[in-house]
Amino acid sequence: MNRLNTSELPYAESLPLLGIEPDHWRAILEALRLSRQQAQILDLLLRGVDEQIIAPVVGIRQSTLRADIDRIFARTRSNNRIELAMQVLALSHKVKSTEAEAAFYGKRLF
Determine the pLDDT at residue 90: 87
Residues in Cβ contact with 46 at an 8 Å cutoff, skipping those fewer than 6 apart: 18, 81, 84, 85, 88
Ranges in the chain, pLDDT < 70: 1-19, 96-110
Digit-coded pLDDT (tens) for 79-105: 999 999 999 988 887 876 665 555 555
Percent of the chain whose predicted confidence (pLDDT) is above 90 = 44
Rounded to an integer, what distance in angstroms lies between the CA atom of residue 100 and that of residue 98?
A: 5
Determine the pLDDT at residue 2: 47
Q: Tell me the whole-structure pTM to 2 decimals.
A: 0.74
Determine the pLDDT at residue 79: 96
Which is nearest to 12 in space by CA: 35, 44, 46? Answer: 44
Domains in the chain (CATH in brackets) are 6-109 (1.10.10.10)
Length of the chain: 110
Find the helix packing angle between 51-58 and 36-46, rounded to 10°. 150
Determine the pLDDT at residue 98: 65
